[in-house]
Amino acid sequence: MTVSKTAEKSSEKPSDATKGRKDATEGLPEALQLGELSEQLGYVLKRAQLKVFENFLRCMASLQLTPAQFSVLLLVEKNPGRNQTEIASTLGILRPNFVALLDNLESRDLCARIRSTNDRRSHILVLTDKGKAVLTRAKKLVATKHESRLNELLGQANREALLEMLSKIANEF
Amino acid sequence: MTVSKTAEKSSEKPSDATKGRKDATEGLPEALQLGELSEQLGYVLKRAQLKVFENFLRCMASLQLTPAQFSVLLLVEKNPGRNQTEIASTLGILRPNFVALLDNLESRDLCARIRSTNDRRSHILVLTDKGKAVLTRAKKLVATKHESRLNELLGQANREALLEMLSKIANEF
DNA sequence: CGATATTTGATATGGTCCATAACAATTATC
DNA sequence: GATAATTGTTATGGACCATATCAAATATCG
């Protein structure tokens, strides 16, 4: 050990004003200094991501769609006729973990697995009619409640610049 | 069910060219179209965050520090004499989950819990000498290997703009 | 052709992170 | 001094992520 146990506060300071934290300026617990933390991109990136996901979930509460589920619906709509492996891998989801996710969407009749006639191992993925309808509503909610709020916070131009830089990091880092 | 089971590909097309996917242009599995996904800030944000954390871990492999551990060391260095509740809460870590994190840092002699004399319930947190030394090396690694690579990818000005926008989202969203 | 290897969806399993309830010790409050 | 609140801690469960493994189906190659 390099530090003596049972010490207290800033040493070299046997003063009286800061003893027991009972000054007249009490009440607030004196917010901590973030210091270099607020300059760490990873830290800020993570916090921002949590906030965005949190807001996304609130906006989608009526449809009960998580970001991952929404991304699956979007990708299946854009790429109908693909199998689980293809959809999962382009989303960065491992096949085993994709099974339960799909089970959920299928049990809610948003998505369907269809045994392919070409390759009877694979399951072709398609949106059901209900899935298409829900996705349409989801897109509207995201646009009007979610992304729009980001626009008014950052401004249209900044939001696009942000997206471009994040894409660069996601793809070229 | 709204879709007929055992279908295949784009219907209304009993053609021959796209049957069995055995054209002359075979080989590549024909990359999927991301479509609107690449415009979803949450999606891109998450992917970027994963990439940044991944790179952070690689850069810190020699010191065996995770982003969370690094943030704790940074915060304790900047705010010595605070207790676990204060450090954990400003990092968005729940007290129960902070215990094991601290146990790890303390077992490696990077950080120490000191029973406060003011409030004998709380544990004051301080960096050990080894903790300070490791943190110094960690900062250098982050600066030279991690953040520098972001700079050359985005450019100094863009990196600062990115940080500012992410901070705005993290704090005001 | 037929033996072997590969692929696909699936299960089981373990790890990490996150969230809640509950507890003993200590302190604050009235 | 009785009651309430706080601190660190444990236990626990859920969500997410990663690996190994499997049966069925297909591909490969002698």
Return the residue in A53, A165, A167 with the most chain B beta carbons within 10 A, the one to mutate for interface testing.
A165
Closest to B56 (Cα-Cα) out of B163, B169, B138, B170 = B138
Nearest residue, CB atoms, A45 vs list B48, B90, B153: B48
- CB contacts of A118 in chain B (<8 Å) are 8, 20-21
Tell me the pLDDT of chain B (173 aa) as tens digits: 434 444 443 333 333 333 333 333 444 557 899 999 999 999 999 999 999 999 999 999 999 999 999 999 999 999 999 999 999 999 999 999 999 999 999 999 999 999 999 999 999 999 999 999 999 999 999 999 999 999 999 999 999 999 999 999 999 99
Q: Is residue B34 part of a domain?
A: no
A95: CATH:
1.10.10.10
Nearest residue, CB atoms, B53 vs list A42, A48, A124: A42
Cβ <8 Å between A114 and B6: yes
**B149 in contact with nucleic chain D (CB within 7 A):** no
Cβ <8 Å between B162 and A165: yes
Protein residue nearest nucleotide C12, by CA to C1': A96
Running DSSP on this structure, what letter comes out for residue A13? Answer: -
**B93 in contact with nucleic chain C (CB within 7 A):** yes
**CA of A21, C1' of C30: distance in angstroms:** 22
Nearest residue, CB atoms, B32 vs list A33, A75, A92: A75
Per-residue pLDDT, A157: 95
Q: Which residue segment(s) compose the domain that B140 sits in? A: 66-172
Q: Is residue B149 part of a domain?
A: yes
Per-residue pLDDT of A38-65, as tens digits, reads 999 999 999 999 999 999 999 999 999 9
Spatial distance between the Cα atoms of A166 and B89, rounded to a whole number of angstroms: 28
Q: Is residue B151 part of a domain?
A: yes
Q: Is residue B162 part of a domain?
A: yes
Q: Is residue A2 part of a domain?
A: no
Q: Is residue B146 part of a domain?
A: yes
Q: Is residue A128 part of a domain?
A: yes
Domain count, chain A: 1
Residue A156, CA distances (Å) to A134, A148, A149, A150, B155 in order: 27, 9, 11, 9, 21
Residue B53, CA distances (Å) to A135, A141, A172 in order: 31, 30, 14
Spatial distance between the Cα atoms of B53 and B68, rounded to a whole number of angstroms: 10
For strand C, the positions having any atom within 7 A of a protein Cβ are: 7-13, 17-22, 25-28
Q: Is residue B115 part of a domain?
A: yes
